[in-house]
Amino acid sequence: MAIKIIQAGLFTTVQDLGRKGYESYGFSPAGAMDYKAHTLANSLVGNDSKEATLEMTLRGIEFLVTSKTTMATAGADMELTINDVPYPIGKAIDLNEGDKVVFGGVKNGARTYLAFNGGIDLERELDSYATHTRSGIGGYKGRALKAKDVLKIVGGPADGLLKEVVKEDSEPTEIRFIFGQQKNRFDKENIEKFISEEYTFTKDSDRMGARLEGEPIVAQEGHDILSEPTQFGSIQIPKNGQPIILLADRQTAGGYTKIGTVIKVDLPVIAQKKPGEKIIFRAVSIEEAENLYKESLQELDEEKDLIASNDFKTVRRIDAMSVSTLIGG
């Protein structure tokens, strides 16, 4: 079983939940930018969240199906047709041999995740399927997909899948963060400016970092520090005063002052922002961040359980996502 890539989209890579335990050797974790959408796409076809998905950015892929299988999508609302028939994002769909699947541009959000029943048949590299293109490791030949690539699929059709995940059109603009140890490098005026000004995502944003534009932030004690480890969500303030949120493909260490770190539950929101969209930062306590993450994990587990069961019709909204039974397939 396989799919043959006709068009590879703007930037499509194989991802999982990231490469753990190798940052001390200089390897970026990589992994899905939106871990929730990755997890939900896998759940819709009965996969474990550790299985690989295809992360499609802004514009998706076009491929031919060589044998029966089941695919599922989650994340950004993206145009999708199968044999010229439109389908919504966020559902499990059976595919037949010879089907032509075409993903177009995004309508809302930035990244859509595509999972296949049983996963994608690839070798793990450093214990992960995640592609890190800058170092050329993981995924499919360590690079983004290209036309004429062939990806082997592990499973055939999945049984009893009548589920869909419906994503709301709107995304939050408020991004919550925790102040870091270098907060004291910024005076009260610049801290107030940081949490009151709107920041715009620029066209230079990528998987390595979200580059923002707004009122510059000045570090009175200097913007350079001794290089230290970075986190997914670290907010660097370089010399130009424009914040950079470090993301999945970030460098493992950095020498710019960090005003804080975006909390885990808001990282998927960052992942779904396009150039030109705006955010506002709001500071929260470590305790609040921990509680929000625990709640998010519990809700995500509940959502996966509901997807796995075939006995529900509608459930409440969870983090701008809802799950409902697809009546009639």
- The mean per-residue pLDDT over the stretch 263-267 comes to 97
pLDDT of res. 220:
86
Domain count along the chain:
2
Answer whether residue 212 is part of any domain: yes
- The mean per-residue pLDDT over the stretch 106-113 comes to 96
Q: What is the mean pLDDT of the chain?
A: 89
Q: Same domain, yes or no, for 227 and 115?
A: no
Q: Are 155 and 48 in contact (CB under 8 A)?
A: no
% of the chain surpassing 90 pLDDT:
78
Distances (CA, A) of 15 to 1, 127, 245: 20, 12, 20
Answer whether residue 322 is part of any domain: no
Angle at 188 between CA 184 and CA 189, to 5 degrees: 130
pLDDT of res. 225:
84
Residue 266 has pLDDT above 60, yes or no: yes
Tokens of 125: 């590299």
- The mean per-residue pLDDT over the stretch 14-28 comes to 95
Please write the tens of the pLDDT for every residue from 90-107.
889 999 999 999 999 999
Closest residue by Cα to residue 197 from 174, 177, 220, 179 = 174
The span from the first CA to the last CA of the chain, in angstroms, equals 23
Residue with tokens 């995500």, as numbered in its chain: 300
Q: Same domain, yes or no, for 152 and 195?
A: no
* pLDDT-derived band at 23, boundaries 50, 70, 90: very high
Tokens of 121: 């048949």
Q: Same domain, yes or no, for 153 and 125?
A: yes
Please write the tens of the pLDDT for every residue from 159-211.
755 456 655 555 679 999 999 989 999 999 999 999 999 999 999 999 999 99
Q: Same domain, yes or no, for 126 and 216?
A: no
Q: Same domain, yes or no, for 9 and 136?
A: yes
Please write the tens of the pLDDT for every residue from 119-144.
999 999 999 999 999 999 999 999 99
Helices 286-308 + 35-44 axis angle, to 10: 20
CA-atom Rg of the chain in angstroms: 20
Residue 293 phi/psi, 5-degree rounding, is -70, -40
Amino acid present at 322: S
Residue 307 has pLDDT above 90, yes or no: no
Residue 319 has pLDDT above 50, yes or no: no
CA distance 50 to 325: 24
Which residue among 138, 167, 196 closes a domain? 167
Q: Same domain, yes or no, for 103 and 155?
A: yes
Please write the tens of the pLDDT for every residue from 31-72.
999 999 999 999 999 899 999 999 999 999 999 999 999 999
CA distance 47 to 168: 24
Distances (CA, A) of 209 to 30, 77, 87, 220, 261: 12, 22, 32, 24, 13
Residue with tokens 């929000």, as numbered in its chain: 292
Q: Same domain, yes or no, for 205 and 254?
A: yes
CA distance 72 to 91: 5
Please write the tens of the pLDDT for every residue from 236-258.
999 999 999 999 999 999 889 99
Residue with tokens 């960090």, as numbered in its chain: 258
CA distance 227 to 249: 17
Residue 279 has pLDDT above 90, yes or no: yes
pLDDT of res. 290:
96
Q: Same domain, yes or no, for 22 and 132?
A: yes
Residue 316 has pLDDT above 50, yes or no: no
Q: Same domain, yes or no, for 21 and 47?
A: yes
Query: Who's near 151: CB < 8 A, 6+ residues apart?
Result: 2, 3, 5, 120, 121, 122, 140, 145
Residue 317 has pLDDT above 60, yes or no: no
Strands (E) located in 263-315: 278-283
Q: Are 37 and 75 in contact (CB under 8 A)?
A: yes
Closest residue by Cα to residue 4 from 62, 43, 54, 59 = 62
Answer whether residue 289 is part of any domain: no
Domain that holds residue 238: 174-284
pLDDT of res. 163:
56
Q: Same domain, yes or no, for 121 and 246?
A: no
What SS3 class is residue 256?
strand
* Residue 221 belongs to domain with CATH number: 2.40.100.10
